[in-house]
Structure 1
Amino acid sequence: MFRNQAARHLGCLLDVDQDVISWTCLPLMLERDSGVHIPDFLVEKGSGSIVMDAVEGREKSPALWIASEAAAHGYEYVAVPVDEIGSGFRLWNAVDLLRYSRWQCPLGDRIRLLAALDEHGTLSVADCFPAFQETRPIAGLSSLILNRFVEVDLDEALIGPETSVRRWRD
């Protein structure tokens, strides 16, 4: 359902954004005179709703009417340049984590890891492995990250054995 690869990548980033409550792809049609635009996403955040596009090349400056039409519908409009979407480690880490989005970490593994984090504060990814006795460690840990039981820094580097894991902070 994504308009292009850049929109798909932006969707991956939205999935791991701590401020995002939910998002919908190709949510509505904005019209003005003879112009029609379907934004890539409608994003719900704690601060409100945002209409968002992944923009590339000559689209970097979308038509001004798009932002005003979005505002008329009660939404802020944000155009995210492709070079921002793919910069740094966040996209790579998001794609790696989302491979495990269908996994569910078993209760026993979740309790063992959360108890260890309560005792130690933070653990490295490698130090978390013994907590996973009912499922594969990377699948279980990824599930807990995606479901916001624990968190890791997705921007610092690619997730590796030394990456710090801590309890989710609201």
Structure 2
Amino acid sequence: MSSRRKSPHKAVSDLPAPVDYSEPLPTLKCVGKPLFRSRQARDLACILDINPDVACWTAPGPTVKVGSCGHTPDFRVVDRDGGVRFLDAADRVLAVDIEHIKQAVREQRASYRLVAVDEVYDGGFRLRNARDLLQYANVTVSLADRLRLLAFLDQEGSLTMSECLSAIRNTEPVAAIASLILQRFVDVELDDALIGPETMVRRIRS
């Protein structure tokens, strides 16, 4: 009696659960409780949270069946235009061929991408600014503070961060401005430098 040859890939039911990398940093657009495989996956989540084109994401994404095998991506992302993407952070080691994953995902009317490391760690300031802002993701800004700041911006066009802080009276000022940036009421440049007193703040109009 001949023995069955074992597949070099693990079946879907045999896939190990993602490692729970956690840190006390809130998320903004996550649906449900996130489970991050690694620090690089957590950092990619920060970039997704401040991307205005992203509506929401889950971590990890659902397991995608690839032939007799399976792959659980780090993220399932829904964009504001309705598009769906499956993403893996750059440190992900794939157990199945990437082209097979892409084909399986296309059958679900979605796309798949292994995110390049320099999209997150590009030597700029976006990730550091994102992590700074997300500390205040759960802050609620009073209506009076929001209206006062937006009225000042309507009048002046743009203001420095230090000028904006003086408009906040009922909420902790730095937390309030950070929350309004995350909620897309106001906008600042995140790539050129760390957010500071001289950073220019502009109102976002829908």
Q: Which string of whole-angstrom CA distances, capped at 9 and with x for unpartnered residues, describes residues 34-58 of structure 1?
A: 4321011111113311111112276
Contact 1:56-1:81 at 8 Å conserved across structures: no
The question of whether the paired residues in 2 share the 8 Å contact of 1:62 and 1:79 is answered with no
The number of residues matched between the two structures is 169
> TM-score normalized by structure 1?
0.93
The 1:132–1:62 alpha-carbon spacing in structure 2 relative to 1, beyond 3 Å, is farther
Computing the radius of gyration from Cα coordinates, the structure with the larger value is: 2
Structure 1 portions without partners, runs of 5+: none
d(CA) in 2 for partners of 1:27, 1:55: 16
CA deviations on 1:48-85 (whole Å, 9 max, x unpaired) are 111111122766x9621111111111101121122321
- Give the secondary structure class of the aligned counterpart of 2:136: coil
Matched residue, 2:116? 81
Alpha-carbon spacing, 1:68–1:138, altered in 2? closer, same or farther (3 Å): same
Query: Is 1:65 equivalent to 2:125 in the alignment?
Result: no
| Amino acid in the other structure paired with 1:44 | V
- 1:82-130 deviation per Cα after TM superposition (whole angstroms, max 9, x unaligned): 2321221110000000001111111111111000000001101011011
Higher deviation after alignment, 8-17 or 73-82? 73-82
1:161 aligns with 2:197: yes
Aligned-CA RMSD value: 1.7
Q: Which residue of 2 aligns with 1:137?
A: 173
Q: Hey, what does 2:42 align to over in structure 1?
A: 8
State percent identity of aligned pairs: 44
Supply the distance in 1 between the matched residues of 2:120 and 2:197 (Cα, whole angstroms).
Answer: 25
How far apart, CA to CA, are the structure 1 residues paired with 2:97 and 2:201?
Answer: 39
Q: 2:72 aligns with which of 8, 25, 38?
A: 38
- What is the aligned partner in structure 2 of residue 91 from structure 1? 127
Structure with higher helix content: 1
What TM-score, normalized to structure 2?
Answer: 0.77
- Which 5+ residue runs of structure 2 have no aligned equivalent? 1-34
Which structure's residues are more often strand, by fraction? 1
Report the secondary structure of 2:36's partner residue: coil
| Map 1:92-107 → 2, pairs under 5 A | 92-107=128-143
